[in-house]
Amino acid sequence: QVQLVESGGGLVQAGNSLRLTCAASGRTISTYGMGWFRQAPGKEREFVAAIGWSGDNLYYADSVKGRFTISRDNAKKTVALQMNSLKPEDTAVYYCAAALAPVAPVSPGLCNYWGQGTQVTVSS
């Protein structure tokens, strides 16, 4: 089993930055693909960013490409999402997820473990 805990969410003004961190406990995540997803009120959970086990394969949703950066530290069992130039449409609950497969999970159906989520609110 893997437990995932997100942190770093909050309220920021448009144009500012936030850094989300996902801390894993339990089994090692060094061979797992990791991803970030988000869900806004009344909308389905959507893919944001994903990273393969080695950190070499990175994928981003078109809506965040060039603004968000995903990274991982397998020794510390953490995954981060650096979010720059935030927009009001980025407002959502952000979830960290882990996939048992080593590839980057680009859809919720590929993930086996989920964190509880952290709220990000961007004001205009």
Q: What is the pLDDT of residues 7-63, one digit of tens each?
A: 999 999 999 999 999 999 988 888 899 999 999 999 999 999 999 998 889 999 999
Q: Three-state SS across 37-78?
A: EEECCCCCCEEEEEECCCCCCEEECCCCCCCEEEEEECCCCE
Does the pLDDT value for residue 109 go beyond 90?
yes
Please tell me the predicted confidence (pLDDT) of residue 40. Answer: 97
